[in-house]
Amino acid sequence: MTSLLISVLLALLLVLSVLYWQKLEESERPLEPVEDDRIRPLLRGLNYLLSEQPDKALQEIVRVARLRSEATEVYMFLGEMFRNKGEFGRAVRIHQNILARPDVSSTLFIEVQFALATDFQTGGLIDRAVRHYHKVLEVQPSHLGSLKSLLRIHEQTAEWAQAIDLLKRVEQLENKKDNFHHAYLMAEIAEIALQHGDLELALKQAKTSCSLASDCIHAYLVFMHSALQLQDSVSLMQGMDAMAEAAPDFLFLLIPVILPTDHATYETTFLQYWQQYKNAELALAWLEYVAKHDALEAAASLQEKLVFRPDSLRDALRLAALFSDDSGMREHARAWRLQMKHYQCQQCGVQIERLRWQCPQCHAWGSMYAIRMDHEG
């Protein structure tokens, strides 16, 4: 137990003592002394702290909180403190002790059940968290925090239909439509249809996603894969052009999807995209693909055709991993390439190696972008 925790416990005991004396002063002084049942645990708690036994001091604080309702706020603060410190078991015990009191109001019941659910969710006990969030919603169906937390859980467990239903309830309560979020959830459903070989459904769901949010990148990729397998070249070109217009920064993702089918046919299309948008990530992904699947000479020829010159250290190192005449430099650049972070969240700034549609840290959808110089610190 850290000295910080000991200080916090001491402060809590002092607050409880002040609350007790304030309460006593507000009432008429009795003619005969009456012992308050909080005095003994308060004194014991202080004694335990002075003797450096903070665990026992905590037990006495819990006892005081169970005896009198005015200590509940302090009790809740203590539970949150333990949760934030990663001591989920302590947080759970504190919140369960509050619920064990006979005089828990409906308002307090909701607050504590939500805190308990958050404890379990933070500690990774998802089933228990879901159970307690539903207990909150049984009493207050419009509890926004519980709905959002359940939405997050269903996204974690890839239960997309349930997530969509919860998102609709959240939207209704907040009186606003989140089409971007909806689009990415529907794109996940389209992805499942694609994996199960239901190409028509995947194509339909991907189109719906794109109609909700024109920059839903995942939906475009599902659309392209479905159109390719259906050999629908018209839909494929329409999808590529729509993606180029709505999200040119992500055109590089089409390289490994489109080029394996017919490099010669689509080379002209990618050249047009390069000339129009001059997106370095597109050029680099194309060069790396050709070097890997064709030959280094073909990649060098493509670089001359693109007239691509790196304008950042990251780009220069990626080219060095392909073309450097210095074998040592080339090997170092390749090793760096394997270890580098490729994507960064525009919401929270976290960097990851492989593209994810939902940020693993802040959980924002569609926020991951390829790292460029203007994104680096």
| DSSP for 115-154, written as a single string | HHHHHHHHTT-HHHHHHHHHHHHHH-TT-HHHHHHHHHHH
> How far is the C-alpha of 232 from the C-alpha of 243, rounded, in Å?
17
Please determine, for residue 371, whether its predicted confidence score (pLDDT) is greater than 90: no
pLDDT mean across residues, the chain: 83
Which range (31-45, 80-94, 171-185) has the least confidence? 31-45
Residue spans of alpha helices (H) in 51-125: 54-67, 72-84, 88-99, 106-122
Residue spans of alpha helices (H) in 278-363: 280-293, 296-306, 313-323, 327-339
Q: Are 48 and 57 in contact (CB under 8 A)?
A: yes
Query: H-helix or E-strand containing 18?
Result: helix 3-26
Confidence of residue 6 (pLDDT cuts 50, 70, 90): low
Please determine, for residue 247, whether its predicted confidence score (pLDDT) is greater than 90: yes
Query: H-helix or E-strand containing 246?
Result: helix 233-246
Of residues 366 and 323, the one with the higher pLDDT is 366
Which range (75-79, 89-93, 362-366) has the least confidence? 75-79
Tally the C-alpha atoms within 13 A of residue 53's C-alpha that lie toward its C-beta.
11
Please tell me the predicted confidence (pLDDT) of residue 373: 62
Does domain 177-246 correspond to CATH entry 1.10.3470? no
Closest of 337, 254, 267 to residue 302, by C-alpha: 267
Please tell me the predicted confidence (pLDDT) of residue 376: 43
Q: Token digits for 290?
A: 């050709």
Please tell me the predicted confidence (pLDDT) of residue 299: 87
Please tell me the predicted confidence (pLDDT) of residue 222: 96
Closest of 367, 342, 363, 350 to residue 217, by C-alpha: 367
Please determine, for residue 16, whether its predicted confidence score (pLDDT) is greater than 70: no
Burial of 133: CB neighbours in 10 Å, binned 0-12, 13-18, 19+: buried
In the chain, ranges of CATH 1.25.40.10 domains: 3-174
SS3 266: helix
The mean pLDDT of 178-200, rounded to a whole number, is 96
Q: Which CATH class name applies to 3-174?
A: mainly alpha
CB atoms near residue 228 (< 10 Å) = 19
Question: Beta 351-352 vs 368-370: how paired, if at all?
Answer: unpaired
Please tell me the predicted confidence (pLDDT) of residue 7: 58
Which range (102-116, 131-145, 164-178, 209-223) has the least confidence? 102-116
Please tell me the predicted confidence (pLDDT) of residue 21: 45
pTM (2 decimals)?
Answer: 0.76
